[in-house]
Amino acid sequence: MKIGEVFRRLVNEDFAILGFFVRNLRRFEYIPVEYIAQKLRRFPPKELDARLRKLHKLKLIERHPTMDAYRLKMLGLDCYALKILADRDVLRAIGDMVGVGKESDIYRAMGPKDELVVVKFFRIGRTSFRNVTRVRDYGVAFERGTWLVRSIVAGRREREALRILNEAQVPNVPRLRGGCLHAVVMDYFEGVELFEVKELSDPDSVLTDILDTVRIAYWRAKLVHGDLSEYNIIVTEGEKPIVIDWPQYLTTVDPNARRVLERDVLYITRFFRKRFRVPIEFEEALQYVLSPLDEGDSGKGS
């Protein structure tokens, strides 16, 4: 079942229960039904039981194999985040998945003015989940619990990065439209990831745009991307490169900032040299990025 279909089956009472799981995420993994009943007194035991079974059937929560207890699943966190975003009028509708990243699922969605946006749901630790299940019992509980919590932390970090970048008016990054928990809502960009692009009409100019984003982020927003590569750049139809995926950003005062900036610049210049034969040296690109901005300078051509 698609996430939108699951979402439409939920009523306010279901969200109240999901909200209880979300609020207790850092304290419990499995929550005993008895405890839920004690805390959510508005639900008579029969109704609570029926609702928990409904949420379990929809795969939003799952039952402990032996105990009368449930834990929140990622889909439950997704639906609860969507509810908050719908109530805040950040989102009007959720559509299909458009991308699976290393650490996220990306959905197309509709904003309040029927505009196309994307919702990025973080899934931190998804890839190593199989290894995690092999560790000791309490270790599983701990790691499993932190899986959702760490996704929430990443969501907050990416929203923070985009907020700072947007405020500093750094060009060619998505505009943050909102978000909560592990969800980030931003502009949708029609395009292809740079690693899939075999040919550009003006690769020098595309690289300059990317270096301008890096440079202006560094000087005006005081941020370093930290994972810049051909996988985190979307090239639009007009050959505008959009730099995405910012949760691992560093601030320029971080002791590692300079080293990480150099790595970002190295990777991207090396890619352009190999793929598009752009005759640029790393040192030259680094010097460009590290040259301070003139006031009113928006980058290109300086």
Active site residues: 227
DSSP characters over 127-151:
TTHHHHTTS-HHHHHHHHHHHHHHH
How far is the CA of 102 from the CAs of 65, 135, 150, 231, in angstroms?
30, 23, 14, 10
Please report whether residue 189 would count as binding ligand ADP according to CB under 6 A.
Answer: yes
Residue located via tokens 């402990």 = 64
Contact residues for 59 (Cβ-Cβ < 8 A; gap 6+): 6, 73, 75
Comparing C-alpha atoms, which of 299, 302, 271 is closest to residue 172?
299
Shortest CB 70 distance to ligand ADP, Å: 28
Residue from 186, 197, 206, 217 in contact with ligand ADP (CB under 6 A): 186
Please report whether residue 193 would count as binding ligand ADP according to CB under 6 A.
Answer: yes
Residue from 7, 21, 43, 188 in contact with ligand ADP (CB under 6 A): 188
Residue from 103, 143, 209, 212 in contact with ligand ADP (CB under 6 A): 103
Cα torsion 232, 129, 79, 92 to 10°: value is 10
Residue from 106, 176, 207, 223 in contact with ligand ADP (CB under 6 A): 106
Distance in angstroms (rounded) separating the CA atoms of residues 238 and 229:
20
Residue span binding ligand ADP (CB under 6 A) among the ranges 35-43, 96-104, 124-132, 140-148: 96-104
Cα torsion 49, 54, 57, 60 to 10°: value is -100
Please report whether residue 232 would count as binding Mg ion according to CB under 5 A.
Answer: yes
Please report whether residue 172 would count as binding ligand ADP according to CB under 6 A.
Answer: no
Please report whether residue 121 would count as binding ligand ADP according to CB under 6 A.
Answer: no
Residue from 53, 102, 163, 300 in contact with ligand ADP (CB under 6 A): 102
Distance in angstroms (rounded) separating the CA atoms of residues 47 and 196:
52
Please report whether residue 244 would count as binding ligand ADP according to CB under 6 A.
Answer: yes
For ligand ADP, give the closer residue by CB, 10 or 173.
173
Binding-site ranges for ligand ADP (CB under 6 A): 98-99, 101-104, 106, 118, 120, 174, 186-189, 193, 231-232, 234, 244-245
